[in-house]
Amino acid sequence: MLYRLQRHALPIKAHFRNSLVLAYAVPADILRPFLSDGLKLDTFGEYGFLAIALVETQNLRPSFLPTVLGMNFALSGYRIFVRYQTQEGRSLRGLRVLRSDTNRRSMQLAGNLLTHYHYQHSRFRVESTPTKYEIQVTTQNGLADLHVEADLRATEQVLPPTSPFPDLREARKFAGPLPFTFDYEKQTHSIIRVEGVRQEWKPRPVPVVVHQNTFLEQGPFRGAGARLANSFYLEDVPYRWRTGIREKIQ
């Protein structure tokens, strides 16, 4: 059955060429309805957080295949910061995926076959220079169009003026992606958790200009007062995902 395939049965390797991650502070009551059984919202004060990850990915493939067989693609992903308690009592922080976009139809098909990440096929325009990183995503129905520009020249590490965090130390706790991703398998009333293992993880805060973000103009997000909380950039990161673990909700 399809849902059994979507448990991340294969270990995966990839390389993140560039990644820009924005985190928006959203009133907690707006985000809670997006959670499944077994998950709790990860909060700071009155806010939960929605991360938008923009990633240029290289050589994505099952770990046992050579690099030459890997897939290159661009990705935008919308995730909520959550917490999950395992049956052994461990408290884990991670992300709950709402939507993913990619510029490769093959990635859309494979991603929806093997994961719960809800891939859509979209157009991407990326401009990367030593001083600027700009990415524009155009979706088929306009529900997740995004255009953001990061200034890579900045040397002073500061937070956006709209951030609820008092300092960068607190902001880094909500700098996605986190090690774990969680999703709900309704057929078995279980949580599927996938652990990512990263190397050379050195995100740096960068100022950004968000020219367009239609995802936050839809449904409950419209008029909810979402605030840009942080924006981090990183490059040249080896990454791998372990096989998924299914744990039945008690």
Apex 156 CA angle, 175 and 229, nearest 5:
30
CB atoms within 10 A of CB 104: 19
Q: In which element (H, E) is residue 92 found?
A: strand 91-102
Contacts of 141 (CB under 8 A, 6+ apart): none
pLDDT value, residue 176: 65
Full set of structural domains in the chain with CATH: 2-248 (2.40.400.10)
Render pLDDT for 170-195 as a digit per residue (tens, 0 to 9).
999 998 668 899 999 999 999 999 99
Render pLDDT for 194-212 as a digit per residue (tens, 0 to 9).
999 988 788 899 999 999 9
Q: Do 98 and 26 form a contact (C-beta atoms < 8 A)?
A: no
Render pLDDT for 39-49 as a digit per residue (tens, 0 to 9).
999 999 999 99
Length of the chain, in residues: 250
Render pLDDT for 14-39 as a digit per residue (tens, 0 to 9).
999 999 999 999 999 999 999 999 99
pLDDT value, residue 155: 84
Q: In which element (H, E) is residue 30 found?
A: helix 28-31
Q: How confident is the model at residue 250 (pLDDT cuts 50, 70, 90)?
A: confident
Render pLDDT for 128-182 as a digit per residue (tens, 0 to 9).
999 999 999 999 999 999 999 999 998 888 899 999 999 999 999 998 668 899 9
Q: What average pLDDT does the segment 115-124 reach?
A: 95
Contacts of 156 (CB under 8 A, 6+ apart): none
CB atoms within 10 A of CB 14: 22
CA distance 17 to 7: 26
User: Could you tell me the CA-to-CA distances from 229 to 86, 151, 175, 204 in Å, in that order?
Assistant: 29, 16, 10, 14
